[in-house]
């Protein structure tokens, strides 16, 4: 019995050396975009376009047609899209048209007036975060 125990112990200790464990190591994919030269908008559109499961957007200004279309396209491919925007900042024609467009296409949208200003522009997408001080509006 002791011989078997010693053999089993040696086998267990030697096993990691014979068949090393394969450990997957992934490098983070970090990309940065800037405005007004345009790379921030491009990055936002690419991020929305690559979303597979969910998009949760917080926005101060909500009126850029290309970003609205990207959100609708994501919704149509089965991505859960939820948006919260600043109520006071989005009372103009362009903002109202953008809100009408995305909600008509099934995007969940809420306005927030609980704070003096809802000035946080964030776009968590499929467990990845795109954080920017980019206004999600046309002037950006």
70: pLDDT strictly greater than 90 = yes
Q: Judge whether 57 and 86 are in contact, CB under 8 Å.
A: no
Rounded to an integer, the average pLDDT of 5-15 is 48
Q: Residue 105 pLDDT > 90, yes or no?
A: yes
Percent of the chain with pLDDT over 70: 61
Whether the per-residue pLDDT at 18 is higher than 60: the answer is no
Q: What is the pLDDT of residue 129?
A: 47
CA distance 73 to 53: 13
Domains of the chain: 26-131 (3.30.870.10)
73 has pLDDT over 70 = yes
**Terminal-residue alpha carbon distance, the chain:** 76
* Residue scoring higher pLDDT (47 or 128): 47
């Amino acid at each position: 019995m002791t011989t078997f125990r010693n053999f089993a112990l040696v086998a267990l200790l030697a096993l990691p050396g014979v068949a090393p464990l394969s450990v997957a190591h992934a490098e983070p994919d970090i990309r940065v975009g800037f405005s007004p030269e345009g790379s921030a908008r491009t990055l936002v559109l690419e991020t929305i376009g690559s979303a597979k499961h969910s998009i949760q957007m917080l926005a101060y200004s909500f009126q850029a047609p290309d970003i609205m279309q990207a959100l609708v396209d994501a919704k149509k491919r089965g991505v859960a899209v939820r948006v919260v925007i600043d109520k006071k900042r989005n009372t103009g024609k362009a903002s109202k048209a953008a809100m009408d467009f995305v909600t008509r296409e099934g995007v969940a949208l809420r306005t927030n007036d609980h704070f003096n200003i809802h000035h946080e522009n964030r776009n968590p997408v499929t467990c990845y975060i795109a954080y920017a001080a980019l206004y999600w509006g046309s002037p950006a």
